[in-house]
């Protein structure tokens, strides 16, 4: 029998503004029938773009839309509290907000740049995970999820990177911040298995988003990385979103603490 995703619960996506991976995830939840979606991003106008795109095709969806900085503990706590206040629960959480930073070797990297990258990518993902887990542990699993599978109290997907697994020149702060996200994912997966919560991450390769294509120089900088991967092309944000949706869904009911690489084969070469 062919199974398909069902998302009867409430979803939250960080870094959901614009046309990147988070926006593709938010639209993916909408098009697969999730009717309670919360989105956040640092950039209010790009967040509004995602809000408008979702409502244009799915006007029935209840949205919580709040701009803010995920490295700010006060914002993260207020945002998740608001989501739970409106939706009553939180079932799927996708921690996608992140920054790449300039191409710099360690000796060229200031402490401020190092801290900024880690504050957003690692500390921000941890702040969001903590707030999401605090809600998930105290709610009942949804009875409307697939009754033939183990109950799911919540599912978290962190967006790490292939660069948390392999190195790249001139990106030590970014690579280490993403390795930290993978390690955090595994630890949380162990700690919350008994609660019926699954925690996984995706590790995208080079994906065609504003982060990688903001100008021709950025595209050129990434050309060698694209050529290394056997598939020799950039991935689409929707190709990462599909992996994220799978991990959030009960089709992945036995997938725990996994770092799912979505990279056209980059790390196997
Ligand atoms: N594009 C790639 O090739 C690639 C590869 C591997 C991993 N990733 C990861 O995927 C995630 C999404 O990136 P993307 O490629 O879609 O890029 P993107 O720039 O389109 O999306 C990132 C979003 O995060 C938001 N953001 C940045 N700092 C924030 C903060 N402090 N608080 C809240 N929001 C913030 C940005 O405004 C942006 O909308 C990131 O974590 C990135 O590191 C991307």
Instruction: Render pLDDT for 28-37 as a digit per residue (tens, 0 to 9).
Output: 999 999 999 9
For residue 235 and ligand 1, the question of a CB distance below 6 A is answered with no
Asked if residue 172 lies in contact with residue 230, where contact means CB atoms within 8 angstroms, the answer is no
Q: Whose CA is nearest to atom 36 of ligand 1?
A: 15
Sequence length of the chain is: 269
Q: What pLDDT was estimated at residue 2?
A: 60
CATH number of 10-268: 3.40.50.720
Angle at 104 between CA 98 and CA 107, to 5 degrees: 125
In this structure, the number of other CB atoms found within 10 A of the CB of residue 59 comes to 7
Portion of the chain with pLDDT greater than 70, in percent: 99
The sign of the CA dihedral 16, 21, 23, 24 is negative
Q: Which residue has the higher pLDDT, 265 or 219?
A: 265
The best mutation among 13, 20, 115, 160 to test binding of ligand 1, ranked by most ligand atoms within 8 Å of the C-beta, falls on 20
Q: What pLDDT was estimated at residue 187?
A: 99
Q: Whose CA is nearest to atom 38 of ligand 1?
A: 15
The sign of the CA dihedral 75, 155, 239, 169 is positive
Q: Whose CA is nearest to atom 23 of ligand 1?
A: 15
The best mutation among 15, 159, 212 to test binding of ligand 1, ranked by most ligand atoms within 8 Å of the C-beta, falls on 15
Give the distance (Å) from ligand 1 centre to CA of residue 170: 18
Specify the ligand 1 atom closest to the Cα of 46.
39
- Phi, psi torsion values for 186, nearest 5 degrees: -65, -45
For residue 41 and ligand 1, the question of a CB distance below 6 A is answered with yes
Instruction: Render pLDDT for 45-57 as a digit per residue (tens, 0 to 9).
Output: 999 999 999 999 9
Average pLDDT over residues 94-116: 97
pLDDT at 3 over 80: no
Q: What pLDDT was estimated at residue 57?
A: 97
Q: Whose CA is nearest to atom 21 of ligand 1?
A: 20
Give the distance (Å) from ligand 1 centre to CA of residue 16: 8
Portion of the chain with pLDDT greater than 90, in percent: 93
* Residue 106, C-beta contacts closer than 8 angstroms, at least 6 positions apart: 172
Asked if residue 21 lies in contact with residue 96, where contact means CB atoms within 8 angstroms, the answer is yes
Give the distance (Å) from ligand 1 centre to CA of residue 20: 7
User: What are the structural domain ranges in the chain?
Assistant: 10-268
> Average per-residue pLDDT in the chain?
96
Give the distance (Å) from ligand 1 centre to CA of residue 103: 16
Average pLDDT over residues 256-262: 98
Q: Catalytic site residues?
A: 174, 178
Q: Please, where are the H alpha helices in the chain?
A: 21-31, 44-57, 73-87, 111-118, 124-136, 172-192, 210-213, 216-228, 237-248
Give the distance (Å) from ligand 1 centre to CA of residue 96: 6
Q: What pLDDT was estimated at residue 221?
A: 86
């Amino acid at each position: 029998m062919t199974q398909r995703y069902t998302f009867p619960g409430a979803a939250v996506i960080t870094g959901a503004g614009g046309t990147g991976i988070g926006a593709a995830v938010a639209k993916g939840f909408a098009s697969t029938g999730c009717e309670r979606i919360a989105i956040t991003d640092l950039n209010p106008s790009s967040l509004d773009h995602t809000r408008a795109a979702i409502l244009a095709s799915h006007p029935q969806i209840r949205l919580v839309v709040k701009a803010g900085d995920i490295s700010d503990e006060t914002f993260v706590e207020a945002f998740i509290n608001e989501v739970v206040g409106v939706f009553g629960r939180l079932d799927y959480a996708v921690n996608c907000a992140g920054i790449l930073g300039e191409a710099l070797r360690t000796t060229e990297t200031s402490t401020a740049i190092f801290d900024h990258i880690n504050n957003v990518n690692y500390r921000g993902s941890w702040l969001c995970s903590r707030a999401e887990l605090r809600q998930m542990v105290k709610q009942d699993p949804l009875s409307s999820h697939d009754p033939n599978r183990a109950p799911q109290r919540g599912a978290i997907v962190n967006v790490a990177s292939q660069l948390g697994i392999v190195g790249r020149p001139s990106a030590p702060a970014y690579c280490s911040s993403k390795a930290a996200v993978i390690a955090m994912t595994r630890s949380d997966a162990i700690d919350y298995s008994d609660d019926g919560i699954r925690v996984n991450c995706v590790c995208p390769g080079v994906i065609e988003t504003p982060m990688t294509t903001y100008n021709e120089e950025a595209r050129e900088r990434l050309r060698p990385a694209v050529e290394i991967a056997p598939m020799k092309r950039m991935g689409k944000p929707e190709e990462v979103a599909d992996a994220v949706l799978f991990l959030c869904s009960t089709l992945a009911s036995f997938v725990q603490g996994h770092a799912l690489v979505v990279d056209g084969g980059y790390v196997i070469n």
